[in-house]
Chains A and B, each alone.
Chain A
């Protein structure tokens, strides 16, 4: 099972690696957005899918990463800026997780959403009052291929981490928490530590992706990088693909990015409406996600 997954991943990664050399500018930018959501959704599903803690805070970590690289890219080298973005996002996740991870279900979802908005408004307020700007223009921008390779690396790392975490002690502990938290605790799992570590793990990926993607836009402000929609779409992709499965989030990320890029420019509202409809339909009729259709046969 694990060997098969690794082979699939290697083939996919090789195909994605060859893409910038053969495909047009448009296709590469499409692939970049696929990879971004693949990394976000896979890392989200590793923690939230197995523990069933519905985090809406992805946008917060993404934004923190984006701001970190925007502020430090002039002084730090590219990879260091991304690493720093991941580290700060993970540190924020540890603090946030320590405060809210004792709450389950709706409370957790609503609180993470509230905290994302609080961070966004705080940064917007700080920028307006103290630094006197609305957004920031990025002047030092790496080449397109550098960004592409970095995001590809992050996506591969997210899936790779998911493959190795699943059968590990850590992964089993998270799955145990998702099945029955009290039982897991009785059986000796330190649920608090596992949950905070898992939350920080997803946050680190979201922060790194945010740091890598911010340079794509060359201009960032709190409203774009902390857009709650980034969080929603990540959750949506993971849920529709199947949050408890390995390949579901990846599959759905590709489908959605294609849908988004083709529909969004011509008919943005129709895209958003179909997104809402798809979410409702998948929650109602496909609770296990796209990937569960094939799995059921076995």
Chain B
């Protein structure tokens, strides 16, 4: 292989990796902060993608305009879901382990509910639209313009989230909650308000990811599950609750998959990602799952 071919392979891996990092952001926030392992994460991503698709094909609204709309709509949905389910769950669970197990079951229920609702509403077929599909040449390599926009926005949103968590008072509160829920409450951080807000933001971010993904990939009501699994792998690789870790983990996974697929064959992709997932969980379960 020439140097140029390698560069193209790695670059396409980085682009996919950027998408993975973006997909993982919302779940990372929800699990890292509240220990809600939202298995329905991918389904909300799918809702974001379908909203964008419906707006684009129905009214000709640009996906980039839909970005904040998808965020706000899904955030509102997230606030409603938190109010209806997780708030009661947090109050009635004896300890965090019980809450986590019951939260997992609730999110499985949400997964059935949302996925089949979409299938009932939109039917099961694959859909898509063209947006910025022309290739752009960078050096010898050529990439679709929408993929580059996707990567740039994914990096920008991850970066913005990292900066917000690092520098603002809100971010400080969130990080304090991740480190010690009781301690955070003792110093006057309002968990009752921060939890629903961050659950909503997590869902909003999955909507944003779906909105961006619909620009480049075909969408269907069943698209969510693989993304949930990818998000799980990424946050396992990067460490739960760590945004920077998820960014690095996502890009690493993208590159590993691109290179691995190039040297074996594409049908091994799912096998490869599940293999990495299980290996990481078995190899470093506490180091990666536990908050540092």
Residues of A within 8 A of B (CB): 52, 54, 99-100, 103-107, 109-111, 114-115, 117-118, 121-122, 125, 128-129, 232, 235, 239, 268-270, 272-273, 275-280, 283-284, 287
- The reply on B108 being an interface residue by CB < 8 A is yes
Q: In the complex, are the beta carbons of A280 and B101 less than 8 A apart?
A: no
**Further 16 A-B residue pairs, CB within 8 A, beyond A276-B110, A276-B113:** A110-B37, A111-B281, A117-B274, A128-B267, A232-B108, A269-B120, A273-B113, A273-B116, A275-B112, A276-B112, A279-B105, A280-B85, A280-B110, A280-B113, A283-B106, A284-B88
Return chain A residues, CB-CB under 8 Å to B100. 105-106
If A106-B37, A107-B289 touch, does A283 touch B113 (CB 8 Å cutoff)? no
Closest A residue to B31 using CB positions: A106
Contact B271 A118 (CB under 8 A): yes
Question: How far is it, in angstroms, between the C-alpha of A48 and the C-alpha of B289 when the chains are bound?
Answer: 22
Residues in A with CB closer than 8 Å to B271 are 118, 121-122, 125
What separation, in Å, do the CA atoms of A125 and B265 have in the docked complex?
11
Contact A111 B111 (CB under 8 A): no
Contact residues in A for B110 (Cβ distance below 8 Å):
276, 280
Name the interface residues of B100-138: CB closer than 8 Å to any CB of A: 100-102, 104-106, 108-117, 119-120
Asked whether A110 and B101 contact (CB < 8 A) given A128-B267, A280-B106, A283-B89, the answer is no
Main secondary structure of the interface of B (DSSP, over half): helix
Determine how close the nearest CB of chain A comes to the CB of B265; give it in whole angstroms.
9
Contact pick for B285, options A103, A283, A284, CB 8 Å: A103
Give the CA-CA distance A235 to B101 in the complex, in Å: 12
In the assembled complex, the Cα of A6 lies from the Cα of B282 at a distance in Å of: 42
Beyond A103-B285, A106-B101, A272-B112, is A118–B106 a contact (Cβ under 8 Å)?
no
Contact status A279-B108, CB under 8 Å:
yes
Residues of A within 8 A of B104 (CB): 54, 106, 109
